[in-house]
Amino acid sequence: MVVNRGVVELETGGSAGTSVRIAEDLANIVNDGATRRVVPVLGNGSLANLVDLRLLRGIDIAIVPAAILDYAKEQNLLAGTETSITYITKLYNEELHLLARPEIKSIADLANRKVNVDSRDSATAIMANHLFNALKLTIGMTNDAPEVALKQLRHGDIAALAFVSGKPVPLFRGLSRDNGLHFLAFPFNPAVAAAYVPTRLTAADYPGLIPQDQPVDTVAVGAVLVVANLQTAPDRDRNVANFVDAFFTGFHSLLEPGHHPKWQEVNLAAELTGWRRYPPAEQWLQRNLQVAKAPNPDDLVAMFARFVDERRQSIGGAPMTQQEKTDIFQQYQHWQAGQPQ
């Protein structure tokens, strides 16, 4: 049937997170009304998404955290995952958000208290177990949906809500610190350095919850766009290859206003250690390597300006004018041009 021509099914996280919006952005640049179409599907947790990618009829690609891929391989939860699943590209960082009640002043106050970590198969649950164990901090984990947990947090049924997703997260949109809810800092631990990176939540991300001069330290993990083993399904494999071509070719349009800010973090050519890239994606990059690595000058200026704005906000500095940011960017270019290649 014509309606099924070029269809690619993309499994995401739940509606409370960021990956749904990322899938929507992808559909908007890939869908052409005739030969290509992306159909987003809501998943039931990162491990469940991997199972679906391996076994569920029709699921072609999925967005999952890199740490969950490695966890599944290390724990041998899905035998053969490393050979049956390939990746298209690394995407953006997904930050740990730890929203707590007013009486919880630091992460130490969570000892032996209830903390919701989403469903048992979710990235949040698996990562929270890993991260709290690294701190040698015992908590009582509950496994309700984030939207339910937010109501429980307000009523005092739990002490905190953990949620891993790319900032700014829709779940926390519109919340205010006037009711005492606040993000807790999560200290970076060298024991988890292989899987996580230190980062911050700022007032630019959550103006209602974070004061301008009080950024919140936390950790993040990279999200990855992965592909099922489609060797026995040539039509689906061809559809995914066409998706990759449209996505990679139109990537720079995702950096424009109106798309999720997380696209600014994506480098199509970045490699995922220990995993094999989907062959059509690798072939596209080999043909267009410089295009993938180097946005046009206007994109670079815009990305640099956003970086400066965020850094100034995180340290409480006064905003810079556009001319000041442009001057600094030009100085950086002159410095970079003088560096040995």
Using alpha carbons only, what angle is made at residue 246 by residues 245 and 252, rounded to the nearest 5 degrees? 105
Is residue 11 within 8 A of residue 53, CB to CB? The reply is yes
The pLDDT score that the predictor gives to residue 312 is 60
Residue 319, exposed/middle/buried by CB under 10 A (0-12, 13-18, 19+)? exposed
pLDDT at residue number 332: 53
Work out the angle between the directed axes of helices 66-74 and 123-134 (0-180°, nearest 10).
80
Residues of the chain with pLDDT under 50: 314, 335-341
Phi-psi region of 258 (alpha: psi -120 to 50; beta: other; left: phi over 0): left
pLDDT for residue 55: 79
Instruction: State CA 101 to chain mean position distance.
Output: 25
CB 192 within 8 A of CB 130: yes
What type of residue sits at position 285?
L
pLDDT of residue 247: 94
CA pair distance 284, 164, nearest whole angstrom: 31
Beta-strand (E) ranges in 194-283?
197-201, 216-227
185 CB-contact burial (10 Å; exposed 0-12 / middle 13-18 / buried 19+): middle
- CA 65 to CA 92: how far, in whole Å? 9
CA atoms of 52 and 43, how far apart (whole Å) = 9
Element (H or E) spanning 160, and its range? strand 160-165
CA–CA dist 167, 93 (Å, integer): 9
- Cβ partners under 8 Å of residue 330, min gap 6: none
Radius of gyration of the chain (CA): 21
Q: What is the pLDDT of residues 277-325, one digit of tens each?
A: 999 999 999 988 765 555 555 655 665 676 566 556 645 566 778 777 7
- Cβ proximity of 92 and 222 under 8 Å: yes
The whole-number pLDDT of residue 307 equals: 58
Cα-based distances in Å from 104 to 140, 187, 217, 254: 15, 16, 16, 39
How far is residue 164's CA from residue 124's CA, in Å, rounded to a whole number?
A: 5
Q: Give backbone dihedrals phi and psi of 304, rounded to 5 degrees, phi first.
A: -65, -40
Burial class (CB in 10 A: 0-12, 13-18, 19+), 282: middle
Tens of pLDDT, residues 172-218:
988 888 789 999 999 877 777 777 888 999 999 999 999 988 999 99
**Gap between the Cα atoms of 338 and 197, Å rounded:** 30
